[in-house]
Amino acid sequence: MFDLAARAEPRPVYLTVQEVTKRFGRFVALDRVSLEIREGEFVSFLGPSGCGKTTLLRAIAGLDPPSEGRIVQAGRDITLLPPGERDFGIVFQSYALFPNLDVRRNIAYGLRGPAWPREKVEARVAELLAMVGLQEHARKYPAQLSGGQQQRVALARALANHPGLLLLDEPLSALDAIVRARLRTEIRALQKSLGVTTIMVTHDQEEALSVSDRIVVMNEGRIEQIGTPEEVYRRPASAFVAGFVGRSGSFAAEVEAPRRLRAGPVSIEADGAASLSPGQAARAFVRPEDVRLGPEAEGHPGAFEALVTGVEFLGPVCRVHLLAEGVRLEADVPSEQIPRLDLGRVAKLRVAIPADRVMTYPDG
């Protein structure tokens, strides 16, 4: 879903976060966080609960101003401005719709003052209703809507004032999987058509990977990595990112030689070990789709034998669980290829991992 063409030409920086720290008493929720977001980008803050991603979003919105540091939006220092004086629209996890107002009035709630005469408000609401596909529900109240419809209303309300920045705080987490997948596609398409700079907070890796131009991976109040979905997934900057983003098997190893790891009796080539010293403790991560099994493993340097401990049917792929002298791995195999491996009778398989797909980091 990401826009490769949009990445080709760098756009002007729209939002700058400089050395932002946020303390709650003695607890440091954000520790000298810095980043730049370009005009029109869709950026996701991704990380586990308590990593600081929502605190950072709230600092940008002015809901929890930083203890230290500086935030600049479109060339204006907004660090200490109250939320009402900032240029943003926000969608909360809980939707935060007014239960006593129908859809039209919820969307129009922020359209007030001399800049918004009645005719202009009505035209803008009609435009937004069409944009989010809720024309037939305009006179309904939030309790009469599904979760997905309520979220569309919240999104339309956030966009009503033509904000320069759209903030999404876990906007899809309360929805079921099918609705969540459909709505994230709609949000991304709407964002691209409007060109509004957007920040989304999420703990859902698939969500972040599928819609973002760039992902900010956070852990314990700090940024671990900022990169495109491809960079974060294929070239994690740390063991934390490798283990958190996407699925991977992980095992402890020792650097046996330049570009070679040993884990018990298993010795494999690993390009990622090139920067480590022989004898150094390492932690290796391998994606399930990168593991070669059976005939595909033959001829690979460092191929080894592993015990098949289980097979999960996941629809288009089957996940094969493997154990080789303490090294646990998972391999994703197209379901139609499973009969060729004859897993009903075979207890062991030849296994190989391409050297450039072994993600390796210092251990400890």
Choose which CATH entry (2.40.50.100, 3.30.930.10, 2.102.10.10, 2.60.40.420) describes domain 247-362.
Answer: 2.40.50.100
Residues 5, 158, 118, CA angle at the centre, nearest 5°? 120
* pLDDT number for residue 9: 66
Instruction: Enter the pTM of the model.
Output: 0.92
DSSP state of 315: S
Fold agreement between 4-243 and 247-362: no
Choose which CATH entry (3.40.50.10470, 3.40.50.970, 3.60.15.10, 3.40.50.300) describes domain 4-243.
Answer: 3.40.50.300
Strand, coil or helix: 167: strand
Residue 291 contacts residue 329 (beta carbons within 8 Å): yes
Domain ranges of the chain: 4-243, 247-362
* pLDDT number for residue 326: 78
User: Of 258, 253, 262, 257, whose CA–CA distance to 282 is shortest?
Assistant: 253
Strands (DSSP E) contained in the chain are 13-24, 27-38, 42-46, 68-73, 76-77, 89-91, 165-169, 197-202, 214-219, 222-227, 249-257, 260-263, 266-269, 281-286, 292-293, 304-313, 317-324, 327-334, 348-352, 359-362
* pLDDT number for residue 325: 85
Regions of the chain where pLDDT drops below 70: 1-9, 344-346
How buried is 213 (Cβ within 10 angstroms: 0-12 exposed, 13-18 middle, 19+ buried)?
buried
* pLDDT number for residue 5: 47
* pLDDT number for residue 318: 94
DSSP-assigned letters across all residues of 68-110? EEEEEETTEE-TT--GGGS--EEE-TT----TTS-HHHHHHTT
